[in-house]
Amino acid sequence: MMARRDNSDPGDTGAYSKWSFSWPANRRIIYNRASADINGKPWDDTRKLLWWDGAKWTGYDVPDIAPTAKPQDVGPFIMNPEGVSRLFARGMMREGPFPVHYEPFESPVTNVIAPKVRGNPVARVFKDDFAQFADVGSPDFPYAATSYRLTEHFHYWTKNNHVNSVLQPEFFVEISEQLAKEKNIANAGWVRVWSKRGSVFAKAYVTKRIQPLMCNGKTVHIVGIPIHWGFVGAAKKGFPANVLTPFVGDANIETPEYKAFCVNIEPSTGPVA
């Protein structure tokens, strides 16, 4: 059964029940009984998964209860004695209100789910650092930036190794073809990237890999910033990516919010000597 390659998807549910095999019983979605109400009727007729036909459960997945169990007799969460779902939070952990999607503290768009909430309400942020955040949707910092690691490097360590530095010798930022055209930035040309906290100079890598996002009807461009350069090492000297990043502590382990922040970008002649 693991060799099955039928990618048909009746009901357009994303279950693909005839593609390979899912343990146990080829069930694709755990607790799929929860897709129907107490009477066995789908909560949303446009997104049906399982339903009670009067004699048995039927639909697009293998039911996680007895096929003939009446809806009123078996709740959706059979592994919990109370028959309902749970919200689990370990003792001594800081938790916010009921889970919703939180935008980062710096975001080019307003959180449409919780428009009055900025960032995680229980994140650790100092007052002076908060003052260095760009306003949500600020025209001065319209682009979403993210930092990341390259295959050829590991953190900041391997910039001191000659072989790794040959493979990735110079600090660059990665942008889409659309943003490059909009800002008149040439591939391999110098750019200046700045946030409300600092500014860096880098070579531009114009790529198809990064694409603009459409967020609530607004086009949002992305600037990708690898982290591996600095003032020492075997590679060419470059700017640390964290010159740009905000000072935010995750609510529990206080990992900084380095993966999402706002910047601006422009063509440049390079760093001033």
Residues 223-270: tens digit of each pLDDT: 999 999 988 889 888 999 999 999 998 888 888 888 999 999 999 998
Measured CA to CA in angstroms, residue 183 lies from 55, 67, 195, 204, 232 at distances of 63, 60, 17, 12, 31
115 domain residue, yes or no: no
Decide: 17 and 61 in contact? Cβ < 8 Å. yes
Structure confidence by residue, pLDDT tens digits, 173-231: 999 999 999 999 999 999 999 999 999 999 999 999 999 999 989 999 999 999 999 88
Q: Which domain holds residue 10?
A: 1-86
* Count of C-beta atoms within a 10 Å radius of residue 79: 9
pLDDT at 273: 56
For the chain, helix, strand, coil in percent to 5 are: 15, 20, 65
Strands (E), 29-88: 50-52, 57-59
103 domain residue, yes or no: no
The phi and psi torsions of 82 (rounded to 5 degrees) equal: -80, -10
CA distance 201 to 205: 13
Average pLDDT over all residues of the chain: 92
Q: Are residues 133 and 66 in the same domain?
A: no
102 domain residue, yes or no: no
CA distance 162 to 192: 27
Q: Are residues 178 and 76 in the same domain?
A: no
Q: Quick check: helix, strand or coil at residue 203? A: strand
Beta bridge partners of 146: 224
67 Rama class: left (phi>0) / alpha (psi -120 to 50) / beta: alpha
Quote the number of domains for the chain. 2
Q: Give me the CATH number covering residue 162.
A: 2.40.40.20
Q: Are residues 139 and 237 in the same domain?
A: yes
Question: Which pairs with CB-CB distance under 8 Å and at least 24 residues apart come from 167-170?
Answer: 168/226, 168/228, 168/235, 169/235, 169/236, 170/203, 170/229, 170/235, 170/236, 170/238
Q: What global pTM score does this model have?
A: 0.71
72 domain residue, yes or no: yes
